[in-house]
A and B are shown apart, each in its own frame.
Chain A
Amino acid sequence: MKTTLIDLSYLIAAALFIFGLKRLQSPKTARGGNLIAALGMLLAVVATLFLHRIITPIEMLAGLVIGGAIGAVLAVRVPMTAMPEMVAAFNGFGGLASALVAIAEVARYLIPEVPGLAVLFPLPIEQPPFDVQLAITIVLSVLIGMVTFSGSSVAFGKLGGYITGNPVLFPGLRLLTLLVALGVLGSMGFVLAGAETFPMIADPVVGGIIALTGFALILGVLLVIPIGGADMPVVVSLLNSYSGLAAAATGFVLDNTALIVSGALVGASGLILTRIMCEAMNRSLLSVLLGGFGGEASEGAAVATAEGKSVQEATVEDAAILLAYANKVIIAPGYGMAVAQAQHQVRELADLLQERGVEVKYAIHPVAGRMPGHMNVLLAEANVPYDQLYEMDEINDEFETADVALVIGANDVVNPAARYDKSSPIYGMPILNVDRAKTVLVLKRSMRPGYSGIENELFYLPNTRMLFGDARESLTKLINEIKAL
Chain B
Amino acid sequence: MLDNLIIFVLAAFVGFEVISKVPQTLHTPLMSGSNAISGITIVGALVVAGMIGGTWSKWLGLVALIAATINVVGGFLVTDRMLQMFKARQPERKTSTEKTEAASVA
Contact assessment for B15 and A70 in the assembled complex, using a CB-CB cutoff below 8 Å: no
Contact assessment for B24 and A373 in the assembled complex, using a CB-CB cutoff below 8 Å: yes
Q: A86-B78, A108-B51, A380-B82 are in contact. Are A259 and B28 (CB under 8 A)?
A: no
Residues of B within 8 A of A266 (CB): 15, 34-35, 37-38
A130 within 8 A of B: no
In chain A, what residue has the closest Cβ to B40?
Answer: A262
One of A93, A253, A268, A364 near B68 (C-beta < 8 A): A93
With both chains docked as a complex, state the minimum distance between the C-beta of B15 and any C-beta of chain A, in angstroms.
3
A56 within 8 A of B: yes
Q: A76-B81, A265-B37 are in contact. Are A87 and B47 (CB under 8 A)?
A: no
Cα distance A257–B19 in the bound complex, in angstroms: 20
Q: Could you give, for residues 8-22 of chain B, a 1 whenever the CB lies within 8 Å of some chain A CB and a 0 otherwise? A: 110111111011111
Contact assessment for A60 and B64 in the assembled complex, using a CB-CB cutoff below 8 Å: no
A104 within 8 A of B: yes
Q: A68-B73, A124-B51, A265-B15 are in contact. Are A372 and B31 (CB under 8 A)?
A: yes
Contact assessment for A124 and B50 in the assembled complex, using a CB-CB cutoff below 8 Å: yes
Contact assessment for B100 and A357 in the assembled complex, using a CB-CB cutoff below 8 Å: yes
Cα distance A72–B73 in the bound complex, in angstroms: 6
Tell me the count of chain A residues lying within 8 A, CB to CB, of chain B.
Answer: 129
What secondary structure prevails in chain B residues at the interface with A?
helix
Tell me the count of chain B residues lying within 8 A, CB to CB, of chain A.
Answer: 91
Cα distance A101–B74 in the bound complex, in angstroms: 20
Contacts of B56-100 to chain A: CB distance below 8 A:
56-58, 60-90, 94, 96, 98-100
Residues of A within 8 A of B65 (CB): 60, 63-64, 67, 97
One of B13, B16, B94 near A272 (C-beta < 8 A): B16
One of A66, A107, A273, A354 near B57 (C-beta < 8 A): A107
Residues of A within 8 A of B45 (CB): 63, 97, 100-101
Contact assessment for A269 and B4 in the assembled complex, using a CB-CB cutoff below 8 Å: no
Contact assessment for B72 and A71 in the assembled complex, using a CB-CB cutoff below 8 Å: yes
In chain B, what residue has the closest Cβ to A28?
Answer: B88
One of B23, B35, B44, B63 near A250 (C-beta < 8 A): B44
In chain B, what residue has the closest Cβ to A359?
Answer: B99
Cα distance A355–B94 in the bound complex, in angstroms: 7
Q: A100-B60, A357-B96 are in contact. Are A325 and B102 (CB under 8 A)?
A: yes
Residues of B within 8 A of A31 (CB): 80, 83-84, 86
One of A87, A98, A386 near B31 (C-beta < 8 A): A87
Residues of B within 8 A of A104 (CB): 48-49, 53, 56-58, 60-61, 64
Residues of A within 8 A of B18 (CB): 18, 21-22, 25, 265
Stretch of A47-55, A407-415, A457-465 on the interface side: A47-55
Known contacts A13-B40, A97-B44, A108-B54; can you find 18 more A-B pairs with CB under 8 A? A31-B84, A38-B36, A56-B58, A59-B58, A70-B69, A74-B70, A75-B77, A75-B81, A76-B77, A93-B70, A97-B68, A240-B31, A256-B43, A269-B15, A356-B99, A356-B102, A371-B28, A372-B31
The contact sample of 24 A-B pairs, CB cut-off 8 A, is: A27-B88, A34-B29, A34-B33, A48-B43, A64-B65, A67-B72, A68-B69, A74-B70, A90-B32, A90-B71, A91-B38, A97-B67, A101-B60, A103-B60, A123-B52, A252-B4, A259-B40, A261-B11, A268-B14, A324-B102, A357-B100, A373-B27, A373-B30, A389-B25
Measured CB to CB, the residues of A under 8 A from B are 10, 13-14, 17-18, 20-22, 24-28, 30-31, 33-35, 37-38, 41, 44-45, 48-49, 52-57, 59-60, 63-64, 66-68, 70-72, 74-76, 78, 80, 83, 86-87, 90-91, 93-94, 96-98, 100-101, 103-105, 107-108, 110-111, 117, 121, 123-125, 133, 236-237, 240, 243-244, 246-248, 250-273, 276, 324-325, 327, 354-358, 364, 366, 371-374, 376-377, 380-381, 383, 385-389, 391
